[in-house]
Amino acid sequence: MAERTPLHPEHVAAGARMVVFGGWDMPVYYASALNEHHAVRRGWGIFDVSHMTVVDISGEGARDYLRRLLANDVARLREPGHGLYSCMLNEAGGVVDDLITYWSGGDRYRVIVNAATRDKDLAWMRAAAAGAPVSITHRAGVVMIAVQGPAARSGVAALLPPAVGERALALRPFHSLEADGTFIARTGYTGEDGFEIVTAAAAGIDLWRRLVAAGATPCGLGARDTLRLEAGLNLYGQDMDETTSPLVSGLGWTVALDPADRGFIGRPALEHERAAPRRQAFTGVLLEDRGVMRHGMRVVTSAGDGLITSGGFAPTLDRSIGLARVPHGAGPEASVEIRGTLKAARLVRPPFVRHGRNLLADAAATAATPPAKPTPESHQP
C-alpha cells in the first residue's frame, strides 16, 4: 500500500488524479495540470512535498563527515542558514542522490533528500558514518510545503507572525531560517522564487488551509515536472543515477575539487573521468517539428546518437523541450526519433525559462542586438 503524507487526504480534492510515485500516493493534478503550471509562473502555487526526506546531522564530527560524504564542500557554507546543493556519490562517481544541505549553526546540519531514494540514502549515509562522532536523525511525520511563484514570498510572509515574515522576506536565495519549530528555506524546484517550509503536521495542515484561502493554487506532480523541465532542473532516476556522474549530467558545477586534499567518496573516479577525453555532454533540446519528446528517445547528432533523459511539453513556450545526453562535440542541429520518425530539433543551453522569462527568446534577441551593459541581479540557483 502506498504511503500518504500527513496532509493527505486532507488537501486532496475529489477531482484529483492520484498515482503512486516513489511509493507515495500523490496527485498528478488537483484540477488541471496546465492551469497549475501557469498559476506558478504567473502567481503562486503550493505543492505538498511532505514525502521528501528530512535528515538532521549533528555531532562534533558532522562537518568532516559531510565533507567526505558529498561532492560539494560544506566548508563553503559561511553562515548559519546557508544552503548548498550537492550530489552524494558512490565510489565509481555515480550519483546516489542529489540533495540540499543547510548549516543550522555549530555542529548541526539539515539535509533534504529525495522521496523515492529515502531508504537507500539513509542506509548509505549511516554506512558512511561508521565510527564517526555524528548523529543521523530522520525527521519522520513532518509536513513540507513548497510555495512557488512571483507572488509566493509576499503571500507566505503575510500569513506568518510579523517578525518571522520580515525575516523570511529578508532571506537571500539558498538561505533558511528556523522560528517556533518551523523551518523556512528560499529554495525550490520550479525556476520561480518562493519558499520550502518544514513544520509539524498539525501546523502544516493549518498552513495549507490558509494558503488556499489566501488564493494559492494547489499543484500536483504534472505541474511540478513541466515547471522543473522548463527550468532545466534534473530529475533523479532520469537525468542522473548511480551509473552516471555529475560531469555528464550538467552538474559539474556542484563538484568542489578544491582544496585538493579533501577526500570525498567518488573523488578518484571523477578525477579519472576529467582527465580522460570527454565523451558525453549534457544539453537542452528544443523540438522544431510537431510532437512531444519523452525519456528514452534517440537523439541523432553530427557526432553520433544520444538519448533524451527528460522530455515533455512546455506550457510556457507552447512547444516540446527536453534534456539529453549526447556525444561530445555535437553541433546544434539534431533530430529526435519519435514513433519511428526523425523530427528536427536543436541543441540549446538550459534553462529554458527562469522567473517567468522565456530565456530562448532572450537569447535570440541578445544575438540580434548589441550587448547591453550588465546590471546586478540576484540569482536563484
Q: Is pLDDT at 1 greater than 80 in this prediction?
A: no
Q: What is the C-alpha to C-alpha distance for residues 355 and 190, in angstroms, rounded to an integer?
A: 9
Report the greatest alpha carbon distance in the chain.
60
| Domain boundaries defined on the chain | 17-48+141-230, 53-138
Q: What is the average pLDDT across 190-205?
A: 97
Instruction: Determine the Cα–Cα distance for residues 368 and 191; give it in Å rounded to an integer.
Output: 26
Q: How large is the average pLDDT for residues 337-347?
A: 98
Identify the pLDDT of residue 96: 98
Q: Which residue has the higher pLDDT, 345 or 379?
A: 345
CA distance 80 to 175: 9
pLDDT of residue 11: 85
Q: Return d(Cα 68, Cα 73) in angstroms, integer.
A: 8
Section 317-340 average pLDDT: 97
pLDDT digits (tens, 9 = 90+) for 30-61: 999 999 999 999 999 999 999 999 999 999 99
Fold match between domain 17-48+141-230 and domain 53-138? no
pLDDT for res 12: 86
Percentage of the chain with pLDDT > 70? Answer: 95
pTM as predicted: 0.94
User: What are 53-63's pLDDT values in tens digits?
Assistant: 999 999 999 99
SS3 308: strand
Cα separation of the two ends of the chain: 36
The 10s digit of each residue's pLDDT in 103-126 is 999 999 999 999 889 999 999 999
Measured in whole angstroms, the distance separating CA 117 from the mean position of its chain's CA atoms is: 14
Distance, C-alpha 34 to centroid of its chain: 20
Find out if CATH 3.40.50.720 is the number for domain 17-48+141-230: no
Mean pLDDT, the chain, integer: 94
Task: For domain 53-138, give the CATH number.
Answer: 3.30.70.1400
Least confident of 17-26, 86-95, 193-202, 313-322: 17-26
Sign of CA dihedral 301, 305, 306, 311: positive
Q: Tally the C-alpha atoms within 13 A of residue 164's C-alpha that lie toward its C-beta.
A: 17
- Give the DSSP per-residue string, 9-29: TTT--TT-EEEEETTEEEEEE
Residue-wise pLDDT tens digits, 267-296: 999 999 999 999 999 999 999 999 999 999
